[in-house]
Amino acid sequence: MSDDRTVKIEVRNLSKVFSDSPEPALELLEQRVPKDEVLERTGLAVGLDNVSFDLYQGEILVVMGLSGSGKSTLIRCVNRLIEPTTGSIRVDGEDITDVPRDELLRLRRDKFGMVFQQFALFPHRTIQGNVEYGLEVQKVEPAERAEKARRAIEQVGLAGWEDAYPNQLSGGMQQRAGLARALAVDADILLMDEAFSALDPLIRRDMQHELVALQEKLQKTILFISHDLDEALNIGDRIILMKDGAIVQSGTPEEILTRPATEYVERFVENVDISKVLTAEHALHRARAVAYCGDGPVTALHKMKEENLSAILVVRTDFRLAGMITAEDADRARRDGVDRIESVLQTDLPTATRDEHLHDLVNRLAGLSVPLPVVDADHKLLGVVSKGGLLEALAEGGSD
């Protein structure tokens, strides 16, 4: 099936051999000889082996793998900090593998924002000065660059720290400053190489969440390098898993986890908590019955009796969720002569959206006498997640 999304970066048949005479290694790679054997037979180190992928506009693509898998070589080839040996790299349709150096510098300056594992902040500059640096290189006027830097600093949650120096900030705050510097130049594409790896686990998780929240607003195109599967699952729209310089599988987090392509991938993901990947949509089913706001308590009781329910969800005529009523409350309303159940509903009902992870729904389900309602942005009832449905989804997802 064709994909009509806009391709920002198109990489085709990219290989990197660290040698001025790579031909012997390339010949062996064409014969599918593993890189370790290529090194043994030729003495030449292979960084990338025939890598091809697309990075779509507005997505976060995480490239991950163990040390030596080729992931960092790949991101450095994308902006030609490392020169590829063979293959092509197209950015917005333009092949950048052969552009002259002055054009390459312009591309790096205008197309790419870069965030590295080491914060790379200038110790003698304030945070404002650090964030302005890329704009200085672009020769942006002082007043404009100060304003752009201020907005970027605010976006990453560092407002008020403009005049501080890097050594006055925590590691997480320094990484925010590095991200702000990349955002300030307003590049479409962010290249992030192990950007959060130097942070302690709690700050690292916070930064992952903030990146996802920021991406929701800014819709940048992000190529993110990581060695951490949990990080890839937390932030990636898609994941590329590399081994020995080659791609062994690419797909959504769910595809990687539930349909591993090789035994290596299966071993790589075997200890992952599947509930942090599968969403409410995987456990979603239609409510067995619903009542309407205009129903009387006798009607509500009848519907509950028909389906052997102790409580029932109540919706408006446009199927927006209004609340819930228990059999006990409906019977009391009947005895009190209430005409419409709308006036006696429990309205503080927890809900979920279809893209929330099952892991996050467990506590909400625990105290409910009805399945957990799943609603859309207009609060219309899409279906429900029951305790049994959740367990069934986890069992099926883990065994696919």
Q: Could you list the pLDDT tens digit for every one of the 400 residues in the chain?
A: 446 789 999 999 999 999 999 999 999 999 999 999 999 999 999 999 999 999 999 999 999 988 889 999 999 999 999 999 999 999 999 999 988 888 888 888 888 888 877 767 899 999 999 999 888 888 889 999 899 999 999 988 889 999 999 999 888 888 888 888 888 888 889 999 888 887 787 788 888 888 888 888 889 999 999 988 888 888 999 999 999 999 999 999 888 888 889 999 988 887 777 777 788 888 899 988 999 999 999 999 999 999 898 999 999 999 999 999 999 999 999 999 999 999 999 999 899 999 888 888 888 887 777 889 999 999 999 999 988 888 887 777 654 4
Q: Are 352 and 362 in contact (CB under 8 A)?
A: no
303 dihedral zone (left: phi>0; alpha: psi -120 to 50; beta): alpha
Q: Are 100 and 112 in contact (CB under 8 A)?
A: no
Which pLDDT tens digit goes with each residue over 264-285? 998 888 777 777 778 888 889 9
All structural domains of the chain, each given as residue ranges with its CATH number in brackets, are 7-276 (3.40.50.300), 280-399 (3.10.580.10)
| 12 vs 7: CA distance, rounded Å | 13
Long-range contacts (CB closer than 8 Å, 24 or more residues apart) made by 360-367: 361/280, 361/385, 361/390, 362/275, 362/390, 365/390
Residue 59: alpha-carbon gap to chain centroid: 8
Q: In a 3-state reduction of DSSP, which class is residue 105? A: helix
Q: Could you give the C-alpha distances from 379 to 28, 32, 214, in angstroms and in order? A: 58, 54, 24
Question: Residue type at 173?
Answer: M
Q: CA dihedral in degrees (143, 145, 146, 147; nearest 10)? A: 90
Which pLDDT tens digit goes with each residue over 146-192? 999 999 999 888 899 999 999 998 888 888 888 888 888 888 899 99
| 141 vs 135: CA distance, rounded Å | 8
Q: Could you give the count of Cα atoms lying within 13 Å of 101 in the half-sphere of its Cβ? A: 1
